[in-house]
Structure 1
Amino acid sequence: MQAPAFWYRPPSAPGLRARLLAPLGWAYAAATAYRLRNGNGFKTGIPVICIGNLNAGGTGKTPTTIALIERLTARGVVVHVVSRGHGGQLAGPVRVDERAHIAADTGDEPLLLSAFAPTWVARDRAAGVKAAQAAGAQVVLLDDGFQNPAVVKDFSIVVVDAQRGFGNGRCLPAGPLREPVATGLARADMVLSIGAAPAQAQFSALWPVDLPHVAGQLDVLQMGMDWADQTVLAFAGIGHPEKFFATLRATGARVLRTEALSDHQPFSDALLRRLEHEAASVGAQLVTTEKDAVRLPPAFRPKVLTLPVRLRLDDWQALDAAFDRLGL
C-alpha cells in the first residue's frame, strides 16, 4: 500500500482520520519505547554507524548507505553492511552473493548494496554484526535498525525526505512515524535531509532540529544515457514512487505513463506482461529504479532501463569529523 495522503497533512491541521487514529498512534509509540528501553544491545569492537529514519517507508537510506560506503572506502576503511533483509526469506546471518541470490532470498536493498560493499542479511542484527566483524569489517553500516535495540550504535543518522518531512508528526497508523520526533532525535547524532533547495527550506522551517543537520540531494548518475525526449513508461515499487517519476521527468524524458507500486512489491508475471505489452503498443521504453531492477526476473531485465541516482552532499565536513572521532 502507498502511504495515505493524510499522513502528510500539516502537523497543525492533521485532519479527522489522524485525530481518530491518534490513540493507536500513542500505543504504537509506547510499544516502540518499551522495546528500546528493555533491549540489551550487543557492543562490538568496531564502530557501528546506523542509517535509519523515523518515518515508515522510503526516505533515502539506500542512497545514503551507498554514499557512506564510497566515502569510507576512499579513506581506506573496510566497510561491511548489515541489513535485516526486508522482503527476503533468508534469516541469516548470510553474506549476500549477487551471483547466487535473488531478491526473494535477501530483499532488494541488500542485493543492490552488495554491489558496493560486502553485505550481510541477518534478522538477528547482532549476529550479523558479529559475522561482519569476523569477516574483516573495520566498520559496519547498519541499514535501518534505528528502532531496534539489538546492537549498540556508535553513530546514528536519521534520514528524512525534506519534501515530506516528518509528515503530520504522528505515529502509525495516525501518521508516518515509528516514534515521536523528539524521542527519536534524542537518540540520534545527525539528521540528513534529502531534497532540492526549496524542500530543504520548507523542512528547516517546519522541523527545526537541535542536532548537526546535513542537507543533500539525489542526482541522476550520468552514464552516457541521454534521457532527453526518450519516450518511457515508468514503474516503481519504492517508498515514494512519485519522487522517482519527478526525477525522471526532470531529465527531459517524455513520460507517457507511470505505475506506482507498493514498496518492495513482487513483480508477478501478469504485471510484467501487462507493462511490456503496454510499452510496446505505444512505442515506449520501460524504466524503473535500481532497487526495483534487482527484483526483476533475469530474463526480463534486458527489457528495462534503470535510472540510477546518487546522493550528493555539498559539505562532508560534519560527517568526516564524525568518522575521525570514530577512528575511521
Structure 2
Amino acid sequence: MAKTAPHFWQAGSTSPLPRLLRPLSALYGLGNRLNQRMTAAQEIGAPVISIGNLVAGGAGKTPTAIAIALRLAALGRHPQIVSRGYGGKLAGPVRVDLTRHTSTDVGDEALLLAAAAPTWIGGNRPAAARAAVAAGADCIIADDAHQTYALARRLSLLVVDGGYGFGNGLQLPAGPLREPIEEGLARCDALVLIGPRSVPLPDFGRRPVFAATLDPNPADAVRLRGRSVLAFAGIGRPEKFFTSLQQLGATVVQTATFPDHAPYSPDTVMRLVETAHKLNAIPVTTAKDQVRLPAKARQMVDVLRVVLNFAEPQRVDDYLRSRLHDGATAGA
C-alpha cells in the first residue's frame, strides 16, 4: 500500500468516491480471480502457516506473525518466516541479516520479523520458502500470504482489526478489500481478532476465533507516560499509533503522517526533531518507521513498540499443535 488508508474507505463514509471508483474495483477483482485460477499452489516440503488479511494495510499481520513464530518456537518447532520484502530492492531469495541489511534492501517489515525468527525475503515466495526449509526450518510462516496463491499451506490464519473490520466492504480502490469478504473467509481456517469488536463483522461460522490485543511494550509505556510527544508515522492507519500513545498517558501535542513504507530523509527527520524541540516535546514513532530512519537519526527519535498478546495462549498452542500434526489442508 503506497499511502495511508483514505477516510472514504471507512464504513459510514458519505464520500462519493467509492461509487465513482466501483468500475475500477470490478477490474481489480477480475484480475485477482484470474490470478487465483491461473496459479498452481506449490508444496515446499514443510507445513506452511499463512498469516494474512483481507484489507490493505494496518490489520496487524506482522505482530501476529511474530507472535506465532515465538509460540511455535516455545513448542519445540523450528519456524522460519517468509516475506515478500515489500519496499526492498533485493529480489531474493535471501535470508535477512540484521547486521548488514537495511529497509532499503529488504523492506521494513522483514527487519521486524527477523528480530523474532530467521526470515527470508523473495518475490518468488515458494522459492524463498524452499530456501528456508533447506536452511533447517521444519515449518514456514508466510507473512501477508492470504492472496499468495502459489504457496500451498497447511493452515491459513486471517487477521482482523476489531475496530476497523473490513471498512466500507468494497474492493480496491473504492474500498480497502483485497478480495470479497466471503471469498477470503472461505479460504481461511481460523481468525485472529485484534481488539474489541467495535464495528459490525460478518458471521465467521464455525472457524476458531482467537482474541488478541496489541499492547505497548511495557518499558516504552513507562518511559513515555506523562511526556509531551510529537508523534509521526508512515503506516497504513497512523491514527491507531496516535491513539495508543494517548491511551498509555502521553500527551500528543502534534502529529505528522507519511506514506506507508516510505523512507525518511535526514532533512525530514531533522525538521521533526526541531519542531518537537520548539514544542517542548520528544519525537516518537513506531518500530516499523524506526527501521526506515537514517541510522544516525535513530538516537534522536523515541519509539513505541507493540506486542501481540493472545487472550487464550494455551488454546492457540493447542490449535497450532493439532494442525501441524494432523496434516489437514488449509481452508478445509
Q: TM-score, normalised by structure 1?
A: 0.94
Q: Deviations over 1:40-70 (max 9, x none)?
A: 1210221100101110112101110111111
Contact 1:212/1:318 (CA < 8 Å) preserved in 2?
no
Match of 1:207 in 2: 202
Aligned 8 A contact 2:276 2:283 in 1 = yes
Q: Distance in 2 between matches of 1:18 and 1:8?
A: 10
Q: Distance in 2 between matches of 1:2 and 1:152?
A: 31
- SS of the equivalent of 1:22 reads helix
What is the CA deviation profile of residues 8-34 of structure 1, one whole-angstrom value per residue up to 9, with x for unaligned ones?
124xx7753212221221221121111
AA aligned opposite 1:216: A
After superposition, where does 1:109-124 map in structure 2 within 5 Å? 109-124=109-124
Q: Is the 8 A contact 1:88 1:103 kept in 2?
A: yes
Deviation at 1:87, TM superposition (A): 0.3
> What residue in structure 2 maps to residue 234 of structure 1?
231
Residue 255, structure 1, aligned to residue 257, structure 2: no
The aligned amino acid for 1:233 is: L
SS in structure 2 at match of 1:206: coil
Question: Runs ≥4 in structure 1, deviation > 4 angstroms?
Answer: none
The letter for the 2-side match of 1:149 is Y
SS at match of 2:64: helix
Q: CA deviation at 1:323?
A: 2.8
Q: Distance in 2 between matches of 1:17 and 1:280?
A: 39
Match of 1:146 in 2: 146
2:173 aligned with 1:173? yes
Indicate the SS of the match to 1:67: helix
Offset at residue 318 of structure 1 (A): 4.6
- Corresponding residue of 1:162: 162
Partner of residue 221, structure 1: 217
Q: Give how far 1:265 is off.
A: 1.5
SS at 1:226 equivalent: helix
Counterpart of 2:274 in structure 1 is 277
CA contact (8 A) 1:63 1:310 kept: yes
Question: Cα gap change, 1:323/1:26 in structure 2, threshold over 3 Å: closer, same or farther?
Answer: farther
Q: Work out the CA distance in 1 between the residues paired with 2:15 and 2:272.
A: 36
Q: 1:324 Cα deviation (Å)?
A: 2.1
- Is 1:3 equivalent to 2:11 in the alignment? no
SS at match of 2:85: coil
Contact 2:285–2:303 (Cα < 8 Å) also in 1: yes
2:323 aligned to which of 313, 322, 325: 325
Distance 1:218 1:320 in 2: 21
- Counterpart CA distance in 1 for 2:14 and 2:308 is 31
Deviations 1:234-265 (A, max 9, x none): 11111111001100111111211111211112
Counterpart of 2:31 in structure 1: which amino acid?
A
Contact 1:7 1:14 in 2 (8 A): no
Equivalent-residue separation in structure 1 for 2:208 and 2:316 (angstroms): 7
Contact 1:47-1:140 within 8 A present in 2 as well: yes
Secondary structure of the residue aligned to 1:80 is strand
Distance 1:253 1:265 in 2: 26
1:325 and 1:161 map into 2 onto residues whose CA distance is: 24
Match of 2:330 in 1: none
Q: Quote the Cα distance in structure 2 between the aligned partners of 1:318 and 1:249.
A: 30
The one-letter code matched in structure 2 to 1:59 is: A
User: Alpha-carbon deviation of 1:282?
Assistant: 2.0
- In structure 2, the residue matched to 1:287 is 284
CA separation of 1:174 and 1:247: change in aligned 2, threshold 3 A: same
Could you tell me how far 1:159 is from its partner in structure 2?
0.9
Give the paired residue count.
Answer: 321
Alpha-carbon distance between aligned partners in 1 of 2:131 and 2:266, rounded to the nearest angstrom: 36
The CA deviation at 1:325 is 2.5
